[in-house]
């Protein structure tokens, strides 16, 4: 079963629905005859080129080349920008990513020169799809982030929703399903507010693909059916075909081959209506694979015959239009079916040789793409690790800073405490010194007044006792007075001692 789902990426141009013609001359003439001014003719060619990009990109490419040539002749800068953008879209559909990248960058240059910010953001979004196709998911996300910043700054809601969907599609490729779902839902909320049913249908389709890839088949069917109902109501033929095709793929994964065949038949019908050989080739191959799985399950021969018929149609139509990847896959399935039938070994051998040659021719390119994707995943993982290390370093630095602050606070407190202690000791010293000086002064005053009186008395009594002419009665009286003076002197000395001791 062809596992490639079709995810719509919308150009930021407003387009009218035009049915694709079979020849570029007829389309060219329809634009030339219906429009008077050259700029209107160029716009018409660009619109038809974009409409053809999904069904017949080679024809779309031719119309875009005519539009570019006409724009160069009249030196119309906006026309150059539009034509370069449509050339890029068609080259991308053809798988020529180098040419697509070149013309997208030329379109971006043209739009920048004329100052069309809205168109610039749209082209940046388109460039991201080239990065994604090359497996450069980090580059795609960087481009989309740049577009998102422009759209946020200029309040470009619809363009922002488209960018969010494209971010979701990158995460879907990376199998980061939850991130993809979040971005799809953000886009859906904008479409709901803007009442944009066409974009809502595309969003539901992408959500259905997301659920299918993550194995949630019931939710996948529910979202795809909702998308189908909207597309049927607005008669969006391309989107109807894509939705039917994806419903067939989901039912294949569920093992319900009858419903898978039913929806692939519906897709074939719409591929014919929109005249898209690319879609038709894919639908033929898908229904062929569904019939083969049904044969393996039920062993009914005509299912194998149907499988071979459809696989042949898908294989040879891919060969005709140069649609290589599905041609390789359908070739492998066709060989398997022919071997089960056991008849046309010659055809099986031819297909085997062609398939092997094609596979070898794209083998190196596929390997380069896989290697590039692995490198991108490694770059993303490395950046995430660097971010984690950076966050850890910031945390450690903050902790170290906090620890240093705490240490400085403690040191400050210790310094303040030491200063207070020194201040208190100094005050105590000053107070004690003042007390000492005051005490000495008081003792000096006390000595001058209080000690001199008893000392003078004692000296007078001693002088009187030294006289020889005093009698015993007078001598006893003098001795008693001497004892009183001595006691008084002793009391005064005790008072001095008390004054000298601080309390």
pLDDT at residue 252, as a whole number: 94
Q: Which residues fall within 8 angstroms of residue 297, CB to CB, at 6 or more apart? A: 257
pLDDT at residue 12, as a whole number: 37
What's the sign of the alpha-carbon dihedral 449, 455, 460, 463?
negative
- Which tokens hold the place of 218? 């019931």
Average pLDDT over residues 383-387: 63
Closest CA to 90 of 42, 136, 54, 121: 54
pLDDT at residue 344, as a whole number: 57
Q: Please check the confidence at residue 105 and state whether its pLDDT lies above 60.
A: yes
pLDDT at residue 59, as a whole number: 86
Average pLDDT over residues 138-147: 92
User: Mean pLDDT: which of 56-70, 173-187, 342-356, 446-460 is highest?
Assistant: 173-187
Are 286 and 245 spatial neighbours (Cβ–Cβ below 8 Å)? Answer: yes
pLDDT at residue 1, as a whole number: 43
CATH of 13-115, picked from 3.40.710.10, 1.20.1250.20, 1.25.40.10, 1.10.10.10, is: 1.25.40.10
pLDDT at residue 7, as a whole number: 41
Closest CA to 90 of 119, 121, 126, 58: 58
pLDDT at residue 465, as a whole number: 74
Angular region, 175: left φ>0, alpha ψ -120 to 50, beta rest: left
User: What is the tally of helices (H) and strands (E) in the chain?
Assistant: 19, 0
Phi, psi at 36, each rounded to 5°: -85, -55
pLDDT at residue 244, as a whole number: 96
Segment 51-86, tens digit of pLDDT: 888 778 888 899 999 999 999 999 999 999 999 999
For 314, other C-beta atoms within 10 Å of its C-beta total 29
pLDDT at residue 15, as a whole number: 29
C-alpha 471: how far from chain center:
129
> Please, which pLDDT band fits residue 123 given cuts at 50, 70 and 90?
very high
Segment 248-271, tens digit of pLDDT: 999 999 999 999 999 999 999 999
- Which tokens hold the place of 476? 């006893």
Q: Please check the confidence at residue 220 and state whether its pLDDT lies above 90.
A: yes
pLDDT at residue 4, as a whole number: 40
Closest CA to 48 of 28, 33, 70, 68: 28
Compute, in degrees rounded to 10, the torsion defined by CA atoms 53, 58, 63, 69: 120
Which residue carries 């049913």 as its tokens?
A: 197
pLDDT at residue 329, as a whole number: 82
- pLDDT over 90 percentage in the chain: 42
Segment 353-378, tens digit of pLDDT: 555 554 554 444 454 555 455 555 55
Q: Buried b vs exposed e over 419-440: b needs ≥16 C-beta within 10 Å?
A: eeeeeeeeeeeeeeeeeeeebe
- Which tokens hold the place of 479? 């001795």
Segment 411-432, tens digit of pLDDT: 888 788 788 888 888 887 787 7
pLDDT at residue 200, as a whole number: 95
Are 137 and 377 spatial neighbours (Cβ–Cβ below 8 Å)? Answer: yes
What's the mean pLDDT when you consider all of the chain?
81
Q: Please check the confidence at residue 18 and state whether its pLDDT lies above 70.
A: no
**Burial environment of residue 158 by CB neighbours within 10 A (0 to 12, 13 to 18, 19 or more):** middle
Angular region, 8: left φ>0, alpha ψ -120 to 50, beta rest: beta
Integer Cα distance of 21 and 10 in angstroms: 22
Q: What share of the chain is helix, strand, coil (3-state, %, to 5)?
A: 85, 0, 15
Which residue carries 């850890």 as its tokens?
A: 392
Identify each DSSP E strand in 133-270 by its residue range: none
Integer Cα distance of 87 and 444 in angstroms: 118
Integer Cα distance of 67 and 81 in angstroms: 10
Give 451's DSSP letter.
I
Q: Which residues fall within 8 angstroms of residue 221, CB to CB, at 6 or more apart? A: 208, 247, 250, 251
> Please, which pLDDT band fits residue 501 given cuts at 50, 70 and 90?
low
Q: Please check the confidence at residue 332 and state whether its pLDDT lies above 90.
A: no
Q: Please check the confidence at residue 379 and state whether its pLDDT lies above 70.
A: no
Helix residue ranges per DSSP H, 195-236: 197-213, 217-234
Q: Please check the confidence at residue 299 and state whether its pLDDT lies above 60.
A: yes
Average pLDDT over residues 434-462: 71
Closest CA to 358 of 331, 320, 321, 339: 331
> Please, which pLDDT band fits residue 394 given cuts at 50, 70 and 90?
confident
Q: Which residues fall within 8 angstroms of residue 496, CB to CB, at 6 or more apart? A: 443, 446, 447, 451
pLDDT at residue 462, as a whole number: 78
* pLDDT top residue among 444 and 227: 227
Instruction: Give the range among 282-296, 305-319, 464-478, 480-494 with minimum mean pLDDT.
Output: 464-478
> Please, which pLDDT band fits residue 31 given cuts at 50, 70 and 90?
confident
Instruction: Give the range among 15-29, 261-275, 302-316 with minimum mean pLDDT.
Output: 15-29
Integer Cα distance of 461 and 482 in angstroms: 6
Closest CA to 180 of 201, 161, 192, 166: 166
Segment 490-500, tens digit of pLDDT: 787 777 777 66
Q: What is the pTM of this model?
A: 0.62
């Amino acid at each position: 079963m062809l596992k490639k789902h079709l995810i719509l990426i919308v150009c930021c141009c407003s387009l009218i629905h035009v049915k694709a013609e079979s020849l570029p001359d007829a389309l060219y003439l329809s634009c030339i005859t219906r429009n008077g001014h050259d700029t209107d003719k160029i716009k018409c060619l660009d619109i038809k080129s974009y409409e053809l990009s999904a069904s017949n990109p080679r024809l779309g490419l031719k119309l875009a080349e005519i539009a570019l040539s006409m724009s160069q002749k009249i030196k119309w800068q906006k026309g150059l920008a539009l034509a370069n953008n449509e050339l890029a879209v068609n080259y991308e559909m053809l798988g020529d990513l180098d040419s697509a990248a070149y013309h997208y960058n030329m379109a971006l240059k043209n739009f920048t020169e004329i100052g069309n910010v809205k168109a610039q953001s749209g082209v940046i979004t388109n460039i991201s799809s080239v990065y994604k196709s090359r497996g450069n998911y980090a580059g795609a996300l960087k481009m989309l982030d740049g577009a998102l910043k422009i759209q946020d700054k200029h309040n470009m809601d619809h363009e922002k929703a488209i960018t969010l969907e494209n971010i979701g599609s990158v995460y879907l490729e990376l199998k980061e399903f939850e991130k993809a779902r979040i971005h799809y839902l953000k886009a859906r909320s904008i479409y709901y507010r803007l009442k944009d049913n066409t974009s809502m249908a595309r969003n539901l389709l992408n959500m259905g693909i997301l659920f299918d890839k993550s194995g949630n088949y019931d939710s996948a069917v529910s979202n795809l059916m909702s998308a189908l109902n909207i597309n049927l109501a607005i008669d969006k033929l391309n989107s109807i075909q894509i939705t039917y095709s994806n419903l067939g793929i989901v039912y294949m994964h569920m093992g319900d081959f009858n419903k898978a065949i039913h929806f692939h038949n519906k897709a074939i019908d719409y591929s014919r209506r929109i005249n898209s050989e690319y879609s038709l080739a894919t639908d033929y191959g898908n229904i062929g694979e569904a019939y083969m799985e049904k044969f393996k399950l039920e062993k009914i021969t005509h299912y194998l015959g149907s499988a071979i018929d459809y696989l042949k149609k898908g294989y040879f139509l891919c060969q005709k239009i140069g649609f290589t990847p599905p041609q390789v896959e359908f070739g492998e399935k066709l060989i398997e079916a022919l071997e089960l039938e056991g008849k046309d070994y010659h055809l099986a051998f031819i297909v085997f040789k062609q398939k092997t040659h094609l596979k070898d021719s794209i083998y190196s390119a596929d390997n380069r793409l896989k290697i590039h994707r692995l490198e991108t995943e490694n770059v993303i993982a490395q950046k995430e690790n660097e971010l984690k290390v950076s966050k850890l370093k910031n945390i450690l630095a903050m902790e170290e800073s906090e620890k240093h602050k705490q240490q400085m606070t403690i040191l400050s407190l210790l310094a303040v405490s030491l200063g207070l202690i020194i201040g208190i000791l100094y005050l105590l010293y000053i107070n004690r010194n003042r007390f000492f000086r005051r005490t000495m002064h008081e003792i000096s005053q006390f000595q001058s007044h209080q000690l001199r009186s008893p000392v003078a008395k004692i000296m007078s009594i001693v002088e009187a006792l030294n006289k020889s002419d005093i009698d015993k009665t007078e001598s006893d009286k003098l001795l008693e007075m001497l004892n009183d003076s001595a006691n008084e002197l002793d009391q005064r000395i005790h008072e001095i001692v008390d004054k000298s001791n601080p309390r």
